Amino acid sequence: MNPQMKGLILKEVKEVYGRKDYLLTMIINTVVYLGAGYIFAVVSPTGVLQNLFMEFSFIVIPSFAMLIVGFPFIQEKFGDEKLIRRFEALLTTPISLKTVWTGKMASIFLLSYPVAIFVIVLLLFAWAVVKGMNPIFILSVPVWVMTLFIVPLLPMIYAGLSSWFILRFNHPQLMQVLQLVGIGISILIFLSSGRIIRSIATGHIVNWPIVAYSTIGVIGSIALIIFLISKLNKEKITT
């Protein structure tokens, strides 16, 4: 990694770690998601449906936590920085807009992915305490691939698209609109996912074909975002 990118990521992360509001967010997350894990474990029926409940909780809750934690970082690192015209200062240095964007996205990932991991640990704890079950062995490998590597990219795709909107347009309420859209899409996915997934999966919410389709979808989305960012005109950001 070149020193510019490294410096940018380290700075973005250092600025947040140890901050009181970040620590407070982590404490609130602990309480909320421990509670969510407890409820999921308690209300889950027995038998096959119990495993589906468990899969669902591991696939959806950590990434939702990541999405919620990511909102302020998108606001701070793109919205606020554009508003206070810090992008102007950044772009006077020998660094391209693409590098700045990549550094900021990497920092958002580094700040929000640990939250997803943390929530997974909380869920493991909740299932172990409430039902005496160990999801590490119960959940299948595709579920873990989905939980650890693919679904966490969805909040990042949201962050990438939001950042493009923020950099491209200047509407003062843009961030609020994007947050509403983000939450709205999450709820829609939450409500509709069961029916869709059950129609294509057999016995589990996630199997290898679903992992494959999801990977293709994620790669396509990332490619689209990279294309949009590469087409951004820095003049739009600095005037």
98 lies in the binding site for another protein (CB under 8 A):
yes
* Residues binding another protein: number (CB under 8 A): 28
Considering the complex, what minimum distance in angstroms separates the CB of residue 8 from another protein? Answer: 7
User: Distance between alpha carbon 147 and the CA centroid of its chain, in Å?
Assistant: 11
Q: Does 29 bind another protein (CB under 8 A)?
A: no
Does 239 help bind another protein (rule: CB under 8 A)?
A: yes
| 134 CB-near residues (< 8 Å, 6+ apart) | 124, 127, 128
**Applying CB under 8 A, does 1 fall inside the site for another protein?**
no
Environment class of 168 (CB within 10 Å of its CB; exposed 0-12, middle 13-18, buried 19+): middle
Q: Interacting stretch for another protein, rule CB under 8 A, among 62-70, 86-94, 105-113, 130-138?
A: 86-94
Q: Does 172 bind another protein (CB under 8 A)?
A: no
Our finding on whether 97 is near another protein (CB under 8 A) is yes
Rule CB under 8 A: say whether 89 interacts with another protein: yes
Indicate whether 92 belongs to the interface with another protein (CB under 8 A).
yes
Which of 205, 196, 194, 197 is CA-nearest to residue 140? 205
Q: Does 24 bind another protein (CB under 8 A)?
A: no
Pick between residue 97 and residue 123 the one whose CB is nearest to another protein: 97
Interface with another protein, residue 171, by CB under 8 A:
no
The smaller minimum CB distance to another protein, of residues 84 and 129, is found at 84
Return the number of the residue (7 or 184) whose C-beta is nearest another protein: 7
| Tokens linked to 183 | 């939450």
The footprint of another protein on residues 210-229 (CB under 8 A) is none
Closer of 4 and 29 to another protein (Cβ):
4
- Cβ 6 to another protein, closest distance in Å? 7
- Using alpha carbons only, give the angle 7, 11, 17 rounded to the nearest 5 degrees: 140
Is residue 19 involved in binding another protein (CB under 8 A)? yes
Residue 17 touching another protein (CB under 8 A): no
Minimum CB separation of residue 76 from another protein in Å reads: 11
Q: Which residues bind another protein (CB under 8 A)?
A: 2-4, 6-8, 11, 14-15, 19, 84-86, 88-98, 234-235, 238-239
